């Protein structure tokens, strides 16, 4: 392994020269195929840290789908239900745990995951490779690859698919640096260990945190640790289902992530599951059409080409009252926030998306109002005492 790797260019084609390098030892990665770029490696290294920590915290194979240095989804390898197989477009029923983790990570927000970078905690096997084969993706990082999986992936994108192997035993230096405007910044790496002990300070009247909620809150918090701040993450059934990244306002994070969580559930509505798609419709077109069907007033787009080109017959309208009624049945969702909630409006919005459990640092001068709002909705909330900003 070498100490540096020359890249085609930086964030943009005009930013040359570009490279990644290490000051001590050798780079802990090996490029097995393709030519990953600057942003690819930013996604790869952030994603690898996320899944490595998620595996350590849960003991389960973990995967992340990254776009523009924030996760579009992250998950552990819980088995998929028949409904999840349908909404994730997984035709294989014999998925390995690592493939289940990626199907969940990709399926959290399939539109945002279009052209993603994949990060895996475990070896990439053939069921995982077959899953990737059908998706639009820029590349993958994993600690190893089965020979048949590697052969299949090398044929993707006309032989140019980016495949990176990382040394799972690599430990970075305790200090990290970066430059902005020619000025160097240095800080200690965020080596905070996120586990169930962080959820022990439950400040609400409801103090019930079942094991499933503990798992989902840990998934949420570790995901936030590698999401551009401000950020909020909704998690359910072993996966992130809504991530709001890089917003200047906390309530905008909560709304953005809540809207994505709502879409995740609405994709499971019988009307959506039974949409009469043409057999020839590409996967990405199907995702886009479902998003329009869920998020728009159907009557506003009747006759639009989105329907004429994608459906065998015109589907029934999916009105706001039906959506609201369906979402009102959702509960058991976990919510993490990378910093405290300054106002109780965040709790009001979270409750609309079925949130039953919250983890946040606490420390706002309005903590009492936030706690009171949780008590109003019978939400159990833990104060972690730890901020998770990431920039």
pLDDT digits (tens, 9 = 90+) for 117-135: 999 999 999 999 999 999 9
Mean predicted lDDT score pLDDT of the chain: 94
What pLDDT does 309 receive? 77
Average pLDDT over residues 36-56: 97
Specify the pTM: 0.95
Q: Would you state the pLDDT for residue 317?
A: 86
Q: How far apart are CA 300 and CA 259, in angstroms?
A: 20
Residue 178 near residue 319, CB atoms below 8 Å: no
Residue 301: the pLDDT is: 56
- Residues serving a catalytic function are 67-68, 230, 391
**DSSP notation for 295-351:** HS-GGGGTTSHHHHTTBSSPPPP--HHHHHHHHTT---EEEEESS--SSTHHHHHHH
Let me know: does 354 contact 268? Beta carbons within 8 Å: no
Q: Which residue has the tokens 């004429």?
A: 308
Over residues 175-233, the pLDDT tens digits come to 999 999 999 999 999 999 999 999 999 999 999 999 999 999 999 999 999 999 999 99
With a cut of 90, say whether residue 157 has pLDDT above it: yes
């Amino acid at each position: 392994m070498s100490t540096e790797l020359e890249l085609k260019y930086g964030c943009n084609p005009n930013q040359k020269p570009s490279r990644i390098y290490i000051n001590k030892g050798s780079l802990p990665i090996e490029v097995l195929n393709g030519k990953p770029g600057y942003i690819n490696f930013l996604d790869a290294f952030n994603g690898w840290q996320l899944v490595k920590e998620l595996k350590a915290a849960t003991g389960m194979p973990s995967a992340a789908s990254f776009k523009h240095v924030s996760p579009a989804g992250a998950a552990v390898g819980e088995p998929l239900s028949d409904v999840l197989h349908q909404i994730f477009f997984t035709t294989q029923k014999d998925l390995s745990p690592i493939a289940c983790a990626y199907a969940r990570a990709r399926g959290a927000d399939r539109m945002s995951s279009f052209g993603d970078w994949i990060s895996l905690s475990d070896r990439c096997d053939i069921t995982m490779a077959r899953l990737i084969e059908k998706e639009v993706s820029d590349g993958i990082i994993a600690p190893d690859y089965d020979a048949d999986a590697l052969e299949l992936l090398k044929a993707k994108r006309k032989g140019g698919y980016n495949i990176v192997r990382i040394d799972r035993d690599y430990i970075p230096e305790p200090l990290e640096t970066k430059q902005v405007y020619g000025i160097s910044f240095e800080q200690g790496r965020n080596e905070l260990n996120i586990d169930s002990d962080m959820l022990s300070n439950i400040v609400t009247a409801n103090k019930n945190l079942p094991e499933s909620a503990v798992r989902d809150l840990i998934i949420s918090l570790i995901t936030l640790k590698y999401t551009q701040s401000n950020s909020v993450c909704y998690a359910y059934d072993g996966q992130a289902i809504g991530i709001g990244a890089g917003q200047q306002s906390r309530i905008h994070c909560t709304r953005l992530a809540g809207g994505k969580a709502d879409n995740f559930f609405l994709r499971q509505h019988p009307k959506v599951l039974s949409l009469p798609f043409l057999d020839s419709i590409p996967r990405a077109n199907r995702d886009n059409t479902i998003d329009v069907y869920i998020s728009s007033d159907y009557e506003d787009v009747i006759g639009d080409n989105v329907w004429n080109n994608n459906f065998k017959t015109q589907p029934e309208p999916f009105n706001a009252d039906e959506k609201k009624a369906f979402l009102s049945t959702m509960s058991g969702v976990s919510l993490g926030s990378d910093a405290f909630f300054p106002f109780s409006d965040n709790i009001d919005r979270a409750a609309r998306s079925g949130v039953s459990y919250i983890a946040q640092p606490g420390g706002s001068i309005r903590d009492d109002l936030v706690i009171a709002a949780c008590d109003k909705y019978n939400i159990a909330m833990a104060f972690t005492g730890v901020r998770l900003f990431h920039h």
